Structure 1
Amino acid sequence: MSIIETQRERTDLPLVAVPNIVDSMLEPFTSTLDLLHDIARVRIYTDFTLDEDTLVERMDGAKAVIVIGFHVSDAMLDRVGDHVECFAFGGTGVASYINLIATRERGIRVCNVVHYGNGAVAEHAVALIMELARRTGRMDAAMHIGGWHGEDGTSLENKTIALVGFGGIGQHVARIARGFGMHILVWNSHLDAQAVHDLEATPVDDLGELFERADIVSLHLPLLADTAGLITPEHLNHLRPGTIFVNTARAEVIQPGVLTSRLQRGDISAGLDVFDAEPLPDDDPLRTLPNVVLTPHVAWRAEAAYASLTKQVTQSIAAYFTGESFNVAN
């Protein structure tokens, strides 16, 4: 573990702590630090940890914290709330990582990032679809072991994809799907009529009907009070045998346990990048299912997304200390 510090001698400036960082984010993040020159000093810990005691220790004395890859639990908030004045969250779904009500009650600002990884997440969702449709990864693994065993694939042309959520990421998936010659169904609580028209999508008001008509279902909802547990066992029971189900959004938009139960029936397949518990426990039953492709919450991890994310969190910290507002979530 190493520590990178800026303006170390400027003890008159407030401290910003970065207690965790993904290796690939270090270069784009350090390139944004000029935005905090003469505003705040920064301390970056270059290794990654989820140990709460270590994270709290690394926040010691900081007035602002950049949150990357870890949850600020209520217990952690109690331990650092006497000195932290601003959290800048680098990711999607800030409400599932930081208690926005508790921070607001304490007078702690929480900032998020917006539209930083639309392309990255959309492409990862399509990568999961492609793997489930053509099994290239599984065949590659088999070829490296030895032998010459192929598998039949599924063509995406003329298939119907249902997008649950039609914001920036959902619309990006729709653009890719059009390139494959797919039919697009969309559900969203507030649809962008122009985007629906431009992408030749068909709105469907009822989720059960949406699921029943789809060959592929891909979730692109933020986790909010009205989306938590939105998808029920009844909705999943509408999936026809052979349907591909993809979630690169948040696991919590599905009622707990019901997707695992549906997948254990074995007649549908799924590509999942998000889970109720992260990291996914080694003994989680999802790991045993041959009809599931799993990735460890990495859909957002791409160079363009890193550049946008790191710039936005730095801008939000600079705005806080200069009395301005930028990407405030609470």
Structure 2
Amino acid sequence: MTLIETQQDRTDLPLVAIPSVFDDMIEPLREAFPLLDGIARVRMHTDHTFDTHEFVERCAGAQAVIVINVHISDAMLTELAGHVRVLAFGGTGVASYVNLDLAAKLGVRICNVRHYGDAAVAEFAFALMLEITRRVGALDRQLRDGSWDGAPGLDLNGRTLAIVGLGGIGGTVARIANGFGMHVTAWDSGRGDPARFVTHNVAPVPTLTELFAGADVVSVHMPLTDETHGMITSEHLDAMRPGTIFINTARAEVIASGALEKRLARGDIPAGLDVFDTEPLPADSPLRSMPNLVLTPHVAWRSDGANRNLTRQCVESIASYFTGGDYNAVTPGVAWNTGK
């Protein structure tokens, strides 16, 4: 681990701490640092830590923190609020990473990033579908182990893909699915423009139960909010026919607690999961031993293009806060020029 700092001589400027970062985000972040010239100085640790004590220690003296894939507990947030005025998260669904109500009470602004990885997440959803239908990874391991047996696959062409949430990512998934020759259906919250169903060649379905019942593949693309928490229930999951493929690259918490694990335990549907109720996924999780699953460690959002968009938005939100703006603010916090 090394330490990267900017404008070290400008002690009159507020400090931005980046206590934890992935290797592939270091250079995109450095490219965005000029946005803070004359506004704030930066201290970035160039490794990734899940250790909460170490994370908080690395934030010492900072008024702003960029948070990359680290869950901020209530205890951490309360401690950080002694000097941190803004937390910029490298993700969209920040409600699963920090207590927004507590942040508002403590006067800490929470910022997210938006539409930074629509293509990255959509492509990864298809990577999971293709691993389930064509087993490329498993076939690679099989061949390396000396076998030439191969395995039968399934076509996506001609099958029905049901999308839960037709926003930026869901719309990109629909576009890709059309290229595969799939029949695409979707249910959406109704807050967006209804014309996007026509734009993306998607057939609307009025209820989630009907959507799940008519699908060959279900792909979830809803953000986590108070309204969407637990919105997919056991009833919806039970409506899936045996053999239906279930994909979740959104948030695990949009599914009612325990409902998906119970459905998958029946063993009659395969699934590709990139998100989990507890992350990292516990070593004793029953999901790890289910043979009908493809599991990945919440990486759908990580690509070169998404990294550039994400890191720049994080830096822009910090710059905006210190200059009186509200770019990507989820909670208002206290204005920088008024103090606490």
Opposite residue 197 of structure 2, the aligned amino acid is V
Q: Which digits, 9 at most, give the CA deviation of each residue in 1:33-90, with x for residues without a partner?
A: 0000111000001111011100110011100000111011100011111100011111
Alpha-carbon distance in 2 for matches of 1:149, 1:232: 39
Instruction: Please name the residue that 1:240 is paired with.
Output: 241
Alpha-carbon distance in 2 for matches of 1:283, 1:82: 36
Opposite residue 77 of structure 2, the aligned amino acid is L
Percent identity for Structure 1 against Structure 2 = 56
Instruction: Please name the residue that 1:38 is paired with.
Output: 38
Deviation at 1:214, TM superposition (A): 0.2
TM-score w.r.t. structure 1 length? 0.99
Deviation at 1:233, TM superposition (A): 0.9
Mind listing any 5+ residue stretches in structure 2 that lack a counterpart? Answer: 332-340
Q: Which digits, 9 at most, give the CA deviation of each residue in 1:122-150, with x for residues without a partner?
A: 00001100111111111111111111121
TM-score w.r.t. structure 2 length? 0.96
Q: SS of the residue aligned with 1:32?
A: helix
Deviation at 1:280, TM superposition (A): 0.4
1:282 aligns with 2:247: no
Alpha-carbon distance in 1 for matches of 2:92, 2:122: 13
Q: SS of the residue aligned with 2:311?
A: helix
Q: SS of the residue aligned with 1:65?
A: strand
Alpha-carbon distance in 2 for matches of 1:301, 1:15: 26
Alpha-carbon distance in 2 for matches of 1:257, 1:149: 37
Alpha-carbon distance in 1 for matches of 2:264, 2:111: 36
1:230 aligns with 2:228: no
Alpha-carbon distance in 2 for matches of 1:192, 1:127: 28
1:207 aligns with 2:227: no
1:20-59 equivalent positions in 2, closer than 5 A: 20-59=20-59
Opposite residue 303 of structure 1, the aligned amino acid is D
Instruction: Please name the residue that 2:120 is paired with.
Output: 120
Instruction: Please name the residue that 2:324 is paired with.
Output: 323
1:192 aligns with 2:196: no
1:67-216 equivalent positions in 2, closer than 5 A: 67-190=67-190, 191-216=192-217
Instruction: Please name the residue that 2:336 is paired with.
Output: none
Deviation at 1:100, TM superposition (A): 1.3
Opposite residue 300 of structure 2, the aligned amino acid is A
Opposite residue 239 of structure 1, the aligned amino acid is M
Deviation at 1:92, TM superposition (A): 2.2
Alpha-carbon distance in 2 for matches of 1:131, 1:156: 12
For the aligned residue pairs, the C-alpha RMSD in angstroms reads 0.8
Instruction: Please name the residue that 1:18 is paired with.
Output: 18
| 8 Å CA contact retained: 2:78, 2:106 | no
Opposite residue 260 of structure 1, the aligned amino acid is E
Greater CA deviation, 244-253 or 320-329?
320-329
Alpha-carbon distance in 1 for matches of 2:139, 2:22: 30
Mind listing any 5+ residue stretches in structure 1 that lack a counterpart? Answer: none
